[in-house]
Amino acid sequence: MGNATKKVAFITGAGQGIGEAISYRLATDGFHVAVADFNLETATEVAKALNSKFGDNTAIPIKVDVSDREGVMQAVDEAVAHFGDLHVIVNNAGLGPQTPIETFTYDEYRKVYDVNVGGTYWGIQAAVKSFKKLGHGGKIINASSQAGQVGNPGLAVYGGTKFAIRGITQTAAKDLAPLGITVNAFCPGIVKTPMMMGIAEQTGKEAGKDTEWGLKQFSQNITLGRLSEPSDVAACVSYLAGSDSDYMTGQALIIDGGMVFN
Ligand SMILES: NC(=O)C1=CN([C@@H]2O[C@H](COP(=O)(O)OP(=O)(O)OC[C@H]3O[C@@H](n4cnc5c(N)ncnc54)[C@H](O)[C@@H]3O)[C@@H](O)[C@H]2O)C=CC1
Ligand SMILES: CC(=O)C(C)=O
């Protein structure tokens, strides 16, 4: 069994955007947080900020490339060795480039699938290995998207990965329930992060317009009339990471301000 006094969460893509907000929210909820990112500089900044707000050893930064299976295994082991336990993994890291359907290349397809889908597979495997070693179940939380609910123009590759992540979530939920492990996904709408600003900029550029125009193309049908803050998403992930969601598995929680109605 593990020996941490607080629960422990491992969060990928935690150096900025939604992952940073999830790190902050789970630290607020009382978790130790492994702030894992390809960019060690931003991960270190986030961990430093959490330690200064919530106390020493609340968080540690970890460098990881989620597309590298062995690297993910090692990164999760590093977090468990440091904190002594693991209860939650949030497979949040993702890439979201525009990929025009007629012209995207093999390399673009491979890169996005390796990070978004591969990173989710390897995060699941690493978490299960640790949960089993620690002798308890746990929670696996995967980042899908509203673009994994409906097709978004220009996002053929990204959208494919986000639909795939919902499928992986349902399958893993069935495979892992006997081990006391729940697996759920979250599906944000249009969230004000560097990723979304990049997509909006490119959409605008291709139409000879600016980023603001590009953003409007994605955000004009939001029922609540505003874009999402990263903290809106983090609040729902807090629910998925906590005991209130214990009787929930294989689900995809849609947090999109009413863009997609099922
Ligand atoms: N921003 C949005 O509107 C939406 C985002 N999402 C999903 O939420 C997740 C987070 O998105 P954002 O915060 O917007 O993205 P972002 O691009 O702002 O941040 C992503 C983070 O992941 C890290 N990262 C990228 N590749 C990595 C790799 N191979 N290994 C480890 N870390 C890596 C980056 O360094 C960065 O810190 C993604 O999975 C995205 O698809 C879903 C729906 C909407
Ligand atoms: C970036 C993203 O997930 C969108 C447009 O839904």
Closest residue to atom 3 of ligand 2, CA basis: 145
**Residue 183 CB–ligand 2 contact under 6 Å:** no
Ligand 1 atom, smallest distance to 191 CA: 3
Q: Residue 180 Cα, ligand 1 centroid: separation in angstroms?
A: 28
| DSSP codes, 56-115 | TTSEEEEE--TT-HHHHHHHHHHHHHHHS---EEEE-------B-TTT--HHHHHHHHII
Ligand 2 atom, smallest distance to 146 CA: 6
With CA atoms as reference, report the closest residue to 145 among 185, 180, 105, 181.
185
Give, for all 262 residues of the chain, the pLDDT tens digit.
Answer: 455 689 999 999 999 999 999 999 999 999 999 999 999 999 999 999 999 999 999 999 999 999 999 999 999 999 999 999 999 999 999 999 999 999 999 999 999 999 999 999 999 999 999 999 999 999 999 999 999 999 999 999 999 999 999 999 999 999 999 999 999 999 999 999 999 999 999 999 989 999 999 999 988 889 999 999 999 999 999 999 999 999 999 999 999 999 977 5
* Assigned token pair, 130: 């640790």
Report the alpha-carbon distance of residue 87 to residue 125 in Å, rounded. Answer: 14
**Residue 173 CB–ligand 2 contact under 6 Å:** no
* Set 24, 113, 121, 158: catalytic member: 158
Tokens 């999109």: give the residue.
256
ipTM of the complex: 0.99
